[in-house]
Amino acid sequence: MTAAPLLELRGVHTHIGAYHILHGVDLVVPRGQVTMLLGRNGAGKTTTLRTVMGMWPASQGELRFDGQTIGGPGVRADTPEIARRGIAYVPESMGIFSDLTVRDNLLLAARSARREAELDRARLDWLFGLFPALHRFWLYPAGKLSGGQKQMLAVARALIEPRELLLIDEPSKGLAPAIVHNLVSALAELKRQRTTVLLVEQNFMVARALGDRVAVMDDGRVVHTGAMAELAEDEALQQRLLGLSLGAHQ
């Protein structure tokens, strides 16, 4: 028997002011897998993540998380409530506090701790293993970190307490190749631990390295779903869906 998906969007429409951005999105995110959300710029990927988080409400359709409806007409689950249910969001803007230290950024993200001594030490050590720079710069202002280190802090904030689902928006954008490699290694460790992730990414190499499943968006709709490995092997399909080929990006 197939396990129920952790997250499911059924016919989701989203309007932002006068603009109709999502046009009936159907999306399934299986438990314990990394699902890549790909598409050209403006396809609706970020709007999809923000709709899941309740930041932009769905005007039509239904969003279900762990068997419960969290979005759709008449459903009033707001962003803090959705976060309390176990969804963490890492926006493209990273969402860190530049004037605060690495430590204080993590404390703010930890709902169960108000001071360093109250943090889960085992979990903190696990995060330091994923992102050693955070340990090294523990008392540095986050604004003084490099771009890659800021991205690692943003992901660590989402992981400081156990979460059922991570939504991550373009974590490799603007990073140097060596930093991207380190970030991919950390996310691959999350994958090995069967963390459920919905990951928006423009770098096809990153998508190929991390993805179990893939959904491709175009013009506010999901136009393709399947195994990431199958898309990675089919250059004609890549060209049709994304305007690129794997061979051109090696």
pLDDT, one tens digit per residue, over 74-88 is 887 899 999 999 999
Mean pLDDT of 187-192: 90
| Whole-number Cα distances in Å, 143 to 73, 99, 114, 152 | 39, 6, 22, 13
User: How many angstroms separate the first and last alpha carbons of the chain?
Assistant: 39
Residue 127: Cβ within 10 Å count: 22
CB 21 within 8 A of CB 40: no
Q: Which residue from 7, 75, 9, 2 is spatially nearest to 217, judged by alpha carbons? A: 9
Instruction: Give me the pLDDT at residue 245, please.
Output: 46
How far apart are alpha carbons 151 and 175 in whole angstroms?
9
Compute the mean pLDDT over every residue in the chain, rounded to the nearest whole number. 91
**Is the pLDDT at 33 greater than 90, yes or no?**
yes
pTM: 0.90
pLDDT, one tens digit per residue, over 214-235 is 999 999 999 999 999 999 999 9
Q: Where along the chain do its domains lie?
A: 96-162
Burial of 152: CB neighbours in 10 Å, binned 0-12, 13-18, 19+: buried
Mean pLDDT of 6-27: 97
